[in-house]
């Protein structure tokens, strides 16, 4: 007995194969995107910042108002979003804090290594004091290990906030850290005192 459409079975089988291939493809690329999202949302090492303004630091705290300390790896592309968010915070804050932006300068790199586009953009932030952190001395004093870590000390030198100011790695846009700092600088209070920080590690394991 002959089928009326002798190739219909072949076509049906072809469609099944194509459907299976497309399902596999979708599952594959979906998993890939999931992996990228997971990487971008994996926080860096949290800071073990002193609860009071550390002694021995070269930085001077602001006795009449809050002090912001932002530590950055000058080559970290993810920190670019953090600098943008810092600019947003300073622009929207009612109380202008004393702001330190410290760029890491390891010992074994050439002079000028830290003079990146990030440095130049940070230098344009209103009222920000951009400084070089030779060999990460200040970073270590403040217990910071991840680029983009932002510390908020009140006028009494008490640590009020410690965390990142981006929603994920290198991801611009409104986020919990940014909102907390704006709230602190505007109303003097915030609903959270810490957030995850997303950025490059300031120190390699061998450092």
Partner 1 sequence: MASLELPPPPDSIALRADELFAKHKHEIYVHTDRLFASLMVLQWVAGILFALWISPLAWFGTVSRTHVHVWAAIFLGGAICSVPALLGVFRAGEPSTRYTIAVAQMLMGALLIHLTGGRIETHFHVFGSLAFLAVYRDWRVLVPATIVVAADHALRGVFWPQSVYGVLVASQWRWLEHSAWVIFEDVFLFVSCRRSVADMKDTALRTAALEHAERESSLTAAQLRITQQQAESATRAKSDFLASMSHELRTPLNAIILYSELLQEEARDHQQAGPMKDLERIHSAGNHLLGLINGILDLSKIEAGKMTLALEQFDVRAVVTDLASTVAPLVQKNANTLVVHCSEDVGPIHSDLLRTRQILLNLLGNAAKFTRQGTITLDVARRVEGGAVNVVFVVTDTGVGMTEDQQRKIFEPFTQADVRTTRKYGGSGLGLAIVARFCSLMGGRVSVESQLGRGSQFTVVLPVDVAAVVDAALYAA
Beta strands in the chain (DSSP E): 67-72, 98-105, 128-134, 149-153, 159-163
Confirm or reject binding of residue 17 to partner 1 (CB under 8 A).
Answer: no
Min. distance of Cβ 84 from partner 1 in angstroms? 9
CB 155 within 8 A of CB 64: yes
Min. distance of Cβ 63 from partner 1 in angstroms? 33
119 or 203: whose CB is closer to partner 1? 203
For the stretch 50-77, what's the b/e string if a residue is b when 16 or more beta carbons lie within 10 angstroms of its beta carbon? beebbeeeebebbeeebbbbbbbbbebe
Confirm or reject binding of residue 190 to partner 1 (CB under 8 A).
Answer: no
Distance CA 180, CA 198 (A): 16
Among the listed residues 9, 32, 65, 127, the single contact to partner 1 using CB under 8 A: 32
Torsion (CA) 27, 33, 35, 38 in degrees, nearest 10: -130
Tokens 């680029």 -> residue:
147
C-alpha distances out from residue 112 to 9, 132, 136, 146, Å: 70, 10, 15, 21
User: If we measure between CA atoms, which residue out of 60, 62, 35, 83 comes closest to residue 155?
Assistant: 62
Q: How many residues interact with partner 1 (rule CB under 8 A)?
A: 49
Min. distance of Cβ 179 from partner 1 in angstroms? 7
Q: How many CB atoms lie within 10 A of CB 15?
A: 10
Sketch the per residue contact string, 90 through 129, with partner 1: x for CB under 8 A, - otherwise. Answer: ----------------x-xx--------------------
Confirm or reject binding of residue 39 to partner 1 (CB under 8 A).
Answer: yes
Confirm or reject binding of residue 54 to partner 1 (CB under 8 A).
Answer: no
Among the listed residues 95, 174, 187, 188, the single contact to partner 1 using CB under 8 A: 174
**DSSP annotation string for 170-205:** TB-S--HHHHHHHHHHHHS--S-SB----S-BSS-T
Min. distance of Cβ 4 from partner 1 in angstroms? 23
Among the listed residues 47, 68, 69, 76, the single contact to partner 1 using CB under 8 A: 76
85 or 154: whose CB is closer to partner 1? 85
Binding site for partner 1 (CB under 8 A): 15, 18-19, 21-22, 25-26, 28-30, 32-33, 36-37, 39-41, 73, 75-78, 80-81, 106, 108-109, 147, 167-168, 170-176, 178-179, 192, 195, 200-207
């Amino acid at each position: 007995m002959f089928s009326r459409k002798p190739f219909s079975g072949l076509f049906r089988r072809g469609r099944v194969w194509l459907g299976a291939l497309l399902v596999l493809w979708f599952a594959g690329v979906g998993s890939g995107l999931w992996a990228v999202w997971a990487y971008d949302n994996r926080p860096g090492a949290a800071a073990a910042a002193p609860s009071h303004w550390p002694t021995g630091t070269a930085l001077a705290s602001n006795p009449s108002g809050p002090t912001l300390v932002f530590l950055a790896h000058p080559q970290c592309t993810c920190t670019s979003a953090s600098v943008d968010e810092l600019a947003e915070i300073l622009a929207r804050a009612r109380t202008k804090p004393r702001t330190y932006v410290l760029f890491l300068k390891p010992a074994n790199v050439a002079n000028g290594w830290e003079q990146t586009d990030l440095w130049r953009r940070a230098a344009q932030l209103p009222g920000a004091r951009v400084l070089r952190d030779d060999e990460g001395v200040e970073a270590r004093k403040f217990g910071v290990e991840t680029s983009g870590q932002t510390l908020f000390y009140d006028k009494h030198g008490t640590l009020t906030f410690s965390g990142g100011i981006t929603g994920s790695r290198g991801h611009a846009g409104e986020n919990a850290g940014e909102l907390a700092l704006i709230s602190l600088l505007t109303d003097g209070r915030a609903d959270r005192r810490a957030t995850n920080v997303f950025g490059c590690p300031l120190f390699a394991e061998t450092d």
